[in-house]
Amino acid sequence: MDVSQYLEIFIDESNEHLQNLNTQILNLESDPSSSDTVNEIFRAAHSLKGMAGTMGYKRMQNLTHDMENVFSEVRNGNIVVQPGMIDILFQCLDALEEYVSNIKESADEGTNDNQHLIDQLNAILNSKGQAAAAPAPASAKKEEASAAEDATTGKKWLDITLDGAQKDVMEEALRQGKKLYGLTITVQESCILKAARAFLVFKAVEEKSEIIVSNPPAQDIEDEKFERDFSLIVVSDVEVKDIIKAAENVSEIESVLGEAIDLSAMNFGKDVKVVKEAPVAAAAVVATETVAERPAPAAKAEKKQTPGKPVVNRTVRVDIEKLDSLMNLVSELIIAKNSLVSISSQDETSHTGAFNEQIEYLESVTTNLHESVMKVRMVPIESVVNKFPRMIRDLSKKLGKKMELYMSGEDTELDRTVVDEIGDPLMHLLRNSADHGLESAEVRQQRGKPEVGSIFLDAYQDGNNVVIEVRDDGNGIDVEKVKNKAIERGSITPEQAANMSDKEIIDLLFLPSFSTAKSVTDVSGRGVGLDVVKSKIEALSGEVEVRSKLGEGSTWIIRLPLTLAIIQALMVVVGGEKYAISLGSIQTIEDIHPSEIKTVQNKEVIHLRGTVIPLIRLNEVLDIESTKSPDESMEVVIVKKGDKQAGLVIDELIGQQEIVIKSLGKYIKQCKFISGATILGDGEVALILDANALI
């Protein structure tokens, strides 16, 4: 059977399970005795094993199998969690991640057996032999015993407990002269698609009979939640051997047991224990025990899941392409709306109130549609930041520094495309903080700081932006050192350096190939970090900023737009051309008389409510003649970026409009301050000014 169609789902789910395992093993490290955590780990490992097996990835299956064995012993209390074991487990997760990424690239798991990891896992397993020799054989014996019992009877349909309704159906069938059969089907051990085989058996049996009940339930069988066998009770007109034959025709089925059953031999819940012959009854009792055992952990799991959020994100996976086409539809709708608006403003005499009403309606529809589509695209940044605690733990070991990562706002939502891209820059910044930021334990002690360094990762929404801050309580940036380094590298001259503010010097860190690390380490310091961070974030139309205080630590602030496709914008006219400015960056709009303009260092500024704001004449930036005469009063749009402000001088205001951002296309190398274009109601194209780039 071809499993390639499941590959995507397999990869997605494997990643989810791996992430879950990572988180839970971290929890286990901090709290080795938590049985909930162990159970959760066991479940995730088990699912992973099952999935890998189904897809035919034997190496992955073997590794997870051995991990599962270890977890199983931990769960049974036979092994005590030790730090060394956690390290091995993490290595196993890395190996599994490698398998998954190999599969992602080539649909093949690769050839690495990771035998050393398996050996280490087995070593852990064997070591428990001495530690807890007593309970192990006992449980093994018990298993053996029940296995033997099963083998002799094999008629597992007798285990099925029936409820009243099912009993009624059976009695009714019997009255109609139909016969009641019990079937137990065992699939071959080598079968990789148990659920598919079971489904075929179901189908074959259903052709000949009606299935009353199955054990485990049909849903579980479909989800492959059964070992190797399952049992059915069916009513039928035909002979039992016909049904057995039909079921046996399905390949990879080891055996099918079946015979007519007597209603009185069945279990009806707990209350009615029908009298039956002794050996059968014994088998049934053993059986009910085993059945009863199974729901127990499940019930426990449910209990555990109710408080807090579900362990695994319940997600609907939507093809990004479909979303994009939906998005385009919305764009068109908005364009249509805009054109209606422009018609209505053109001939004021002819249109009626109803026309306006329709526009308002259309507007509310488009706004809602926009919002709901946006929400589909939004995902919490959790999926990205969840891997960081593990990374910091590893870094802590590698660098020999003690550090702790505190995260907040993991549920902050961002556009899917942004979330996918933001992982690397954040990782760079965190590594940077861990390596360069935090001092060694001795230095920290001398400075009177706690020995364990803290790194904070905070995410929150701020207006139309999402802000992600990476903060550490380490050394901060040594401005003098950066300055010397820059001069040494020839990035700036000593004269320039003397005139630069601290902030400007810190910004030098974002230049390509600039690293102040004294030694190049594995973690950071190759000088490819910060400029990559900056360019990546700018590619997402975001920005990054540093605040630092020597000796107290530094904060890296990343600002990202909430959404990328549709924004509220202010439409302005400069030299007869229309431009859009994102509303998010606009503070106020002022009417300024030319006499209020002062010059500071040859630059035009205005003094507005106590702050000095530099003026930018847009017509000069855009190489166009202003249509206003110099002595007229000017419209000035005050924009801000972080704590910087600027006044953009425009000719005319049009108003606020919702605009759809379109790219200028591959061919035009975008100039820095044009972030895209939009199509206006009359079909004309207007460019979008990036106020941030102008400041």
Partner 1 sequence: MDELKVVGSDGIQYIVVRLGDEQYGIDIKYIDNIIRMQGITRVPKVPEYLKGVINLRGEVIPVMSARLKMFLPADEITRATRIIILKLEQHGTVGIIVDEVKEVVTLDSDHIEKVSYDSNTENVNFITGIGKHNDELISLLDLNLLLQEKDNV
Residues binding partner 1 (CB under 8 A): 328, 331-332, 335, 577, 621-624, 662-669, 671, 674, 676-677, 679, 683-687
Closest contact distance (angstroms) between CB of 323 and partner 1 is 17
Nearer to partner 1, 259 or 658 (CB): 658
CB of 332 to partner 1, least distance (A): 6
Select which of 46, 206, 351, 538 is catalytic.
Answer: 46
Q: Which residues lie below 8 Å from residue 87, measured CB to CB, with a gap of 6+? A: none
Distance from C-alpha of 232 to C-alpha of 235, rounded to nearest angstrom: 10
CB of 202 to partner 1, least distance (A): 50
| Geometric angle at alpha carbon 583, from 577 and 587, rounded to 5° | 105
Q: Which listed residue (16, 29, 40, 68) is catalytic?
A: 68
Catalytic residue among 20, 267, 432, 692: 432
**Burial class for 391, CB neighbours closer than 10 Å (0-12, 13-18, 19+):** middle
What does DSSP assign to residue 439? P
What is the C-alpha to C-alpha distance for residues 40 and 34, in angstroms, rounded to an integer? 10
432 is catalytic: yes
Name the residue nearer to partner 1 (CB basis): 201 or 618. 618
Nearer to partner 1, 83 or 665 (CB): 665
Q: In a 10 Å sphere around its CB, with 0-12 CB exposed, 13-18 middle and 19+ buried, how is residue 584 labelled?
A: middle
378 forms bridges with which residues in the sheet? 415
CA distance 371 to 206: 47
Question: Smallest distance, Å, CB 682 to partner 1?
Answer: 9
Which two three-digit tokens encode residue 273? 């224990």
User: What minimum distance in Å lies between the beta carbon of 639 and partner 1?
Assistant: 18
Which is closer to partner 1, CB of 42 or CB of 673? 673
Least Å distance, CB 689 to partner 1, is 10
The verdict on whether 20 is a catalytic residue reads: no
Adjacent-strand bridge partners of 543: 559
Residue number, 317 or 669, with CB nearest to partner 1: 669
Phi, psi (deg, nearest 5) at residue 233: -120, 125
CB 64 within 8 A of CB 49: yes
Residue 665 CB, shortest distance to partner 1, in Å, is 5
Token pair for 485: 């380094």
CA neighbours closer than 13 Å in the CB half-sphere of residue 527: 15
368 counts as catalytic: no
Rounded to 5 degrees, φ, ψ at 303 are -60, -40
Of residues 235 and 677, the one with the C-beta less far from partner 1:
677
**Nearest to partner 1 of 175, 666 (CB atom):** 666
Task: Check whether the bond before 297 is cis (ω within 30° of 0).
Answer: no
CA distance linking residue 255 with residue 186, whole number of Å: 5
Phi-psi region for residue 351, left (φ > 0), alpha (ψ -120 to 50) or beta? beta
CA distance 228 to 279: 24
Which residues does the annotation mark as catalytic? Answer: 46, 68, 432
